[in-house]
């Protein structure tokens, strides 16, 4: 009904919208809780981003509320909120390799470049303008819309933990912090830390293992230091492990000590088959060496048994499962730090809807405990699922199909979105299937201006349909 008016708003206000995004991109709002202060729980730059977004909201005629520096709330009108739009103002660190300054937003060839332009400051500004467009087009909307802008999504969504303790999201909430058409299913997660200790040992032993830095990445490189193994035995083990795993090995001898490097391929932990885990390959190689019969050797053998190379479904750990909605569980042995007196490690798992504390966490913890491995207490994040048949999801799918002419369907993912902990919420945008990459979390992050305006029009259409 309002399609032409909605699209006209975003055409006429494109320059203003881009200037608002640029104002936010200029703020290096990397969340730094170590710099917390009253009213700034994630550091001064995140607070500054929240204040700037509040200023933009005021300029559009809204009355924003800053909630202890955690979250900015902006209501479209005085009616009870039916629709919620959840975005975030914090960003990942800028990193290296930029062609333009990451916090000096540039417009080139139809794209706006800058850290946060796509993730998630551009969509955050669109949410404010979508409310402005909706109330301008139909001032008599009977229901309300609330934009919720957080400031710590990139470090675990602690902003939303605070918000959900004190507030309730509208019943029809979406987050434009992922992909189109609609992400309605997100697997759960279990990422336990575990380890063991022993006294320093003599003989042929593994002195050190270093593999992985973060839990949600398949480690592409892992290193080990081994004492007391002859080079011929080491070479044979490396050759055999390389043939079995496809991981490349090289080593250097320093007296009776060998320094070994395994090189595989990284991938996101939710897609472990796309990588080649250097850490599990290294463990397999170490298990082929003629090591002394020590306590540490027993733990090494336990890790090899519980996390064999190529077992990304958790079969050896006893947690393999799958369902028709979300597919199989995935498991990635991510981090291992081993020294002469013990080790600490962590794995990342993405758990389907059929998973729960009993068939995942308790089974995993028991398998590790039987091997004498200590498991740190950590809770499992449950899966998040909003049925495709729900009326709100159907509205989102209909809006996407009408505005793009493309097939509208729901998506299940192994990762998590900002909507994960909110009952009934889904992710809706802003990355379009088949489009060139936006380089979010990488150098030269960018967002398509044409797609921005299209997303803004879709957000507005959703508000108008659900709030009349």
Residues 181 and 75 in one domain: yes
Residues 351 and 445 in one domain: no
Which of 375, 397, 418 terminates a domain? The answer is 375
Range of the domain at 239: 189-375
Euclidean distance between the first and the last CA atom of the chain, given in angstroms as a whole number:
12
Which of 375, 399, 415 terminates a domain? The answer is 375
Percent of the chain scoring above 70 in pLDDT? 100
Q: What's the pLDDT score for residue 294?
A: 97
Residues 352 and 398 in one domain: no
Q: What's the pLDDT score for residue 156?
A: 84
Percent of the chain scoring above 90 in pLDDT? 91
Q: What is the pTM of this model?
A: 0.81
Residues 178 and 202 in one domain: no
* Residue 461: alpha-carbon gap to chain centroid: 28
Residues 165 and 281 in one domain: no
Residues 73 and 21 in one domain: yes
Contacts of 4 (CB under 8 A, 6+ apart): none
431 close to 179: Cβ distance less than 8 angstroms:
yes
Residues 167 and 202 in one domain: no
For 384, how many CA atoms within 13 A lie in the half-sphere containing its CB?
21
401-460: pLDDT as tens digits: 999 999 999 999 887 889 988 999 999 999 999 999 999 888 999 999 999 999 999 999
Instruction: Say what the alpha-carbon torsion angle 95, 96, 100, 101 is, to the nearest 10 degrees.
Output: 50
Q: Is the per-residue pLDDT at 146 higher than 80? A: yes
Residues 102 and 7 in one domain: yes
Q: Is the per-residue pLDDT at 388 higher than 80? A: yes
Residues 369-398, mean pLDDT to the nearest whole number: 95
Residue 95, domain CATH: 3.40.630.10
Of 229, 239, 326, 245, nearest in space to 279 by CA: 245
Rounded distance between C-alpha atoms, residue 353 and residue 310, angstroms: 23
Residues 99 and 213 in one domain: no
Residue 214, domain CATH: 3.30.70.360
Residues 250 and 233 in one domain: yes
Q: Is the per-residue pLDDT at 21 higher than 80? A: yes
Q: What's the pLDDT score for residue 133?
A: 98
Q: Report the domain count for the chain.
A: 2
Rounded distance between C-alpha atoms, residue 226 and residue 253, angstroms: 10
Is 189 exposed, middle or buried (CB count within 10 Å of its CB: 0-12, 13-18, 19+)? Answer: buried
Rounded distance between C-alpha atoms, residue 63 and residue 71, angstroms: 14
Q: What's the pLDDT score for residue 440?
A: 86
Residues 423 and 279 in one domain: no
Residues 364-376, mean pLDDT to the nearest whole number: 97
Is 415 exposed, middle or buried (CB count within 10 Å of its CB: 0-12, 13-18, 19+)? Answer: middle
CB atoms within 10 A of CB 308: 16
Residue carrying structure tokens 């417009």 = 107
Which of 347, 375, 403 terminates a domain? The answer is 375
Instruction: Say what the alpha-carbon torsion angle 400, 417, 126, 138 is, to the nearest 10 degrees.
Output: 60
Rounded distance between C-alpha atoms, residue 36 and residue 38, angstroms: 7
46-93: pLDDT as tens digits: 999 999 999 999 999 999 999 999 999 999 999 999 999 999 999 989
Rounded distance between C-alpha atoms, residue 214 and residue 163, angstroms: 27
Q: Is the per-residue pLDDT at 1 higher than 80? A: no
Residues 14 and 39 in one domain: yes
């Amino acid at each position: 009904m309002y399609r032409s008016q909605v699209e006209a708003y975003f055409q006429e206000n494109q320059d203003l919208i881009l200037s608002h995004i640029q104002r936010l991109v200029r703020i290096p709002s990397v969340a730094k809780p170590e710099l917390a202060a009253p009213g700034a729980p994630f550091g001064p730059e995140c607070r500054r981003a929240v204040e700037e977004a509040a200023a933009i909201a005021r300029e559009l005629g809204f009355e924003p509320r800053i909630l202890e520096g955690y979250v900015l709330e902006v209501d479209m009108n005085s009616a009870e909120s039916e629709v919620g739009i959840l975005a975030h103002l914090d960003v990942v660190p800028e990193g290296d390799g930029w062609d333009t300054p990451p916090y000096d937003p540039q417009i080139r060839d139809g794209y706006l470049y800058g850290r946060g332009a796509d993730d998630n400051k551009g969509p955050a500004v669109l949410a404010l303008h979508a409310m402005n467009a909706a109330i301008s087009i139909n001032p008599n909307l009977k229901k309300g819309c609330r934009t919720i802008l957080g400031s710590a999504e990139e470090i675990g969504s602690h902003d939303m933990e605070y918000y959900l303790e004190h507030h309730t999201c509208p019943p029809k909430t979406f987050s434009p912090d992922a992909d189109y058409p609609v992400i309605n299913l997100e697997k759960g997660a279990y990422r336990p830390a575990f380890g063991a200790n022993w006294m320093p040992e003599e003989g042929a032993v593994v002195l050190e293992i270093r593999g992985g830095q973060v839990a949600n990445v398949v480690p592409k490189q892992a290193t080990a230091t081994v004492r007391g193994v002859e080079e011929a035995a080491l070479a044979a083990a490396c050759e055999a492990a390389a043939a079995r795993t496809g991981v490349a090995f090289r080593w250097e001898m320093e007296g009776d000590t060998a320094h070994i490097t395994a090189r595989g391929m990284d991938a996101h932990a939710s897609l472990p088959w796309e990588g080649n885990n250097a850490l599990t390959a290294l463990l397999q190689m170490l298990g082929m060496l003629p090591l002394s019969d020590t306590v540490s050797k027993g733990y090494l053998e336990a890790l090899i048994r519980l996390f064999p190379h190529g077992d990304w479904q958790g079969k050896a750990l006893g947690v393999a499962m799958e369902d028709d909605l979300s597919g199989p569980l995935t498991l990635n042995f991510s981090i291992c730090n081993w020294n002469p007196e013990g080790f600490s490690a962590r794995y990342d798992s993405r758990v389907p809807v059929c998973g729960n504390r009993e068939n995942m966490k308790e089974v995993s913890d028991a398998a590790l405990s039987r091997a004498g491995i200590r498991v740190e207490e950590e809770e499992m994040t449950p899966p998040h699922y909003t049925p495709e048949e729900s009326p709100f999801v159907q509205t989102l799918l209909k809006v996407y199909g009408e505005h793009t002419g493309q097939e509208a369907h729901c998506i299940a993912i192994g990762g998590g979105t900002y909507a994960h902990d909110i009952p009934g919420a889904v992710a809706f945008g802003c990355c379009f299937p088949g489009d060139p990459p936006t380089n979010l979390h990488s150098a030269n992050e960018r967002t398509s201006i044409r797609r921005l305006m299209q997303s803004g029009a879709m957000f507005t259409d959703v508000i108008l349909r659900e709030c009349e």
